[in-house]
Amino acid sequence: MGALLLAIVRRDLLLAWRRRTDVATVVLFFLIVVSLFPLGVGPEPNLLRTIAPGIIWVAALLACMLSLQQLFASDHADGVLDQMLLAAAPLGLIVIARAFAHWLISGLPLVLLSPLLAVQFDLQAELYPVLALSLLLGTPILTLTGAIGAALTLGLRGGGMLLALLVLPLYVPVLILGAGAVDAAAAGLGADAHLLLLGAQLVLTATFAPWAVSTALRIAAE
Amino acid sequence: MLESSNLEITRGDHRLFGGISFALRPGTLLRVGGSNGSGKTSLLRALCGLVLPSAGEIRWHGENIRALREEFWKHLVHIGHHNALKDELTAHENLAALCALSGIQATEDQQSEALVRFGLAGREHLPAKLLSQGQRRRTTLARLALSAALPLWILDEPFAALDAAAVDHMQSLIATHLAAGGMAVLTTHQEATIPARPVITIDLDRERG
C-alpha cells in the first residue's frame, strides 16, 4: 500500500518535471499578479502593508485554481483514471497521494516565495513566518477542496470556468482565516487563534475530501 | 468465478442490451461480439464495475462486485479501449506506474523483460509520445506478461493496432493464462484463434431489444 502511494507521488513529480513549463506558469502567474498591485496602487507604505496579506492570499487562491483543472483531466482523457478506479488499493488513498503531489508542485512554491513577495509590500519582517505558516496550513486545504471541484467538473464542456465558480466561494473561510492571521499578528493580537482554526479546517478537509473526490470520480467515469 | 445474471445496460435513454446471463469458470474464455455501438465496451466496463448496470447484477465468487470493490479489483486486470499511457513518460515508466496501480509485484528487470517480449527492445526508454500506435498498444499489453497471478483478464480490443506477430504472441499469452486456470473476457473484430478452450460467446447484436 505504501509502495503504491510512493509510486503515485513519484509518477506525478516526474510528470511535473517533464511538463515543467506548466508548473512554471502557475508560479509566475502568482508572482506577476502580486507584483501588479504595488504598481497599480502606488508606493504608499502604510497602504501596501495593510493590503499585503489579502493580496498574497487572493493571488494564491487564483494560482491554485489555475493548476486544478489539470488534476484529473489528462488522466481522464488517456484512460489512466480508469486504472486508478480499478486499482488494488482504496481510491481515497490514491486521491490523497495525488493531492499531496499536487500540493508539492503548486502549493509549496507559493509558501516558499511568500516572504520574497512580502518584501515588495514592506511587510514587517516578524510577520514573514506568520504569512508563510498561514499559507503552509492553507494551501493544502485549497488543493483538497479544489480536487472535489475538479472531480465534479471532469469531462464537462467549459469545465474550467465552472470549476472556478464552484470552488472559489468554498475558499472564502480559508482566505479570511489566512489573511486574518497576518492582520491579527500585525495588530499585536497574536495569530494563534487563526492558525489553529486553519489547522482544524485542514484536518477536517483531509478527512472528508478524499471520500468526496472518490465518489465524484466514479460518477464521472460512468 | 465471474457470474452475471440478467444484466441490462442503458446509456442515457438508449437501452443497449438486456438479459445477459453467463457464468465464467476458471479456464474459460468469454468472447463478446457485436457491431460498432452494440455496447461491447459498456459491457466490459460494467463487468469491471466502472459502469452501473440498470438491471441485473455481477458476482465474483458469489458476491456482488459493487460490495467487494478492492477485493474484486485486486484479482482483475483491465486493458481498456484507451492505452492509459502518459505521453511524457517512457514505456518503462508507464509500465511501472500501471503495475503499481494493479498491485502487480514485478522488479525492474521483470518489467524490462516483459517489454522485450512484446517487441519493444531498445524502445523502453523512449517517451511514449514517440512510439507508434502499435508500440503504444504493446506497452500497455506488456502488463499481461506480469499478470499471471491475477485470475481475471478483461481485454477490450486487445489486438487493435497490433501486427500479426504481436497478435500471435497475445493469443499464446491468453491461452497460457487460461490453461493455468485463469479467466479472460475479450472483444475483438478479428477472428482470433485461441485454441481448445471452453469458450462462451455473446453476440450483442442478438441481445438487443
Q: What is the ipTM of this complex?
A: 0.92
Chain B contact set for A83 (CB, 8 A):
78, 80, 84, 98, 101-102
Q: What is the pLDDT of residue A222?
A: 83
Q: What is the pLDDT of residue B110?
A: 93
The string of DSSP codes covering chain B is: -EEEEEEEEEETTEEEEEEEEEEE-TT-EEEEE--TTSSHHHHHHHHHTSS--SEEEEEETTEEHHHHTHHHHTTEEEE-SS----TTSBHHHHHHHHHHHHT----HHHHHHHHHHTT-TTTTTSBGGGS-HHHHHHHHHGGGGG-TT--EEEEESTTTT--HHHHHHHHHHHHHHHHTT-EEEEE-SS-----SS-EEEEEHHHH--
Nearest CA distance, B49 vs chain A (angstrom): 8
Residue-range domain boundaries for chain B: 86-146
- Look at residue B196 and tell me whether its pLDDT is greater than 70: no
Are the CB atoms for B7 and B64 separated by under 8 Å? no
Residue ranges making up the domain that contains A137: 2-221
Is the CB of B96 less than 8 angstroms away from the CB of A7?
yes
Mean pLDDT value of segment B122-135: 92
- Look at residue B200 and tell me whether its pLDDT is greater than 90: no
Question: Backbone dihedral region of B156: left (phi > 0), alpha (psi from -120 to 50 degrees) or beta?
Answer: beta
Determine the residue of chain A that is closest to B9 in CA distance.
A222
Q: What is the pLDDT of residue B195?
A: 66
SS3 A205: helix
SS3 A29: helix
pTM for the model stands at: 0.92
Q: Residue type at A158? A: G
Mean pLDDT value of segment B37-54: 91
d(CA B172, CA B163): 14
Is the CB of A222 less than 8 angstroms away from the CB of B100?
no
State which residues of chain A have pLDDT below 70.
Answer: none
Q: What is the pLDDT of residue A201?
A: 97
Q: What is the pLDDT of residue B208?
A: 65
- Look at residue B107 and tell me whether its pLDDT is greater than 80: yes
Total domains in the fold of chain A:
1
Q: What is the mean pLDDT of chain B?
A: 90
At B141-178, the pLDDT tens digits run 999 999 989 999 999 999 888 898 899 999 999 999 99
Is the CB of A7 less than 8 angstroms away from the CB of B97?
yes
